[in-house]
Amino acid sequence: MTLTSLPLLAALILLAGCLAHGTVGVGAASGMGVALSSYGDFLHSGPDAAYRNNRDGLQAFLRGDYATARTRFDATLEQHPGNPDAVFYLGLTLMFLDEREQGFAVLATYREPFKTRVAQEVSWWTDYCRKRPDMSPETIRQTLVRARAEGLATERRERWERRRGL
């Protein structure tokens, strides 16, 4: 095995772990990590305490333990007001707790510093879902997680194009 194939092997191992076990996480104090799940949910890293609370909250959310998830995301927001991951997943958690309007109100406060495209996508799709009372919490989650991921992908693509002068 050559040294150049090691990054590809590492990526395949992470992907396999994500598909087989549901979650893969990387990151901590460096601010360079991300946690992923096979559902498409993800967390940005940030301050250690916020990242750990959000990771634990997301794991509880994915298990269907919404009361614990709410507690974890609330704890993050007490220490780190406006934390994008905590705001996003607290809003979704509230919907699964049958507090739909409160969930939409929380999602309406979602901001992503330095990632305006992500915030725009989440805002637009939050408004769309709010107008659709027939949407289940799971459909809303899938819609907003996809919108957030697409906003992030667009943000990265646009940044890359600016660097290349396109």
Q: Is residue 55 included in any domain, yes or no?
A: yes
Rounded to two decimals, what is the model's pTM? 0.74
β-pairing verdict for 23-26 and 42-44: unpaired
Q: Answer yes or no: are the C-beta atoms of 86 and 76 closer than 8 Å.
A: yes
Q: Is residue 111 included in any domain, yes or no?
A: yes
CATH number for the domain harbouring residue 90? 1.25.40
The count of domains in the chain is 1
Q: Which helix (H) or strand (E) is 81 found in, with range?
A: none
Q: Is residue 138 included in any domain, yes or no?
A: yes
User: What is the dihedral sign for C-alpha 2, 24, 37, 48?
Assistant: negative
Q: Is 64 exposed, middle or buried (0-12, 13-18, 19+ CB in 10 A)?
A: exposed
Q: Which helix (H) or strand (E) is 49 found in, with range?
A: helix 48-63
The amino acid at 63: R
Domain limits for position 139: 46-164
Q: Is residue 145 included in any domain, yes or no?
A: yes
Beta bridge partners of 34: 26, 44
Q: Is residue 36 included in any domain, yes or no?
A: no
Q: Is residue 152 included in any domain, yes or no?
A: yes
pLDDT tens digits in sequence order for the chain, 166 residues long: 555 555 554 554 444 444 433 444 444 433 444 444 444 676 776 778 888 899 999 999 999 999 999 999 999 999 999 999 999 999 999 999 999 999 999 999 999 888 888 999 999 999 999 999 999 999 999 999 999 999 989 988 888 888 887 6
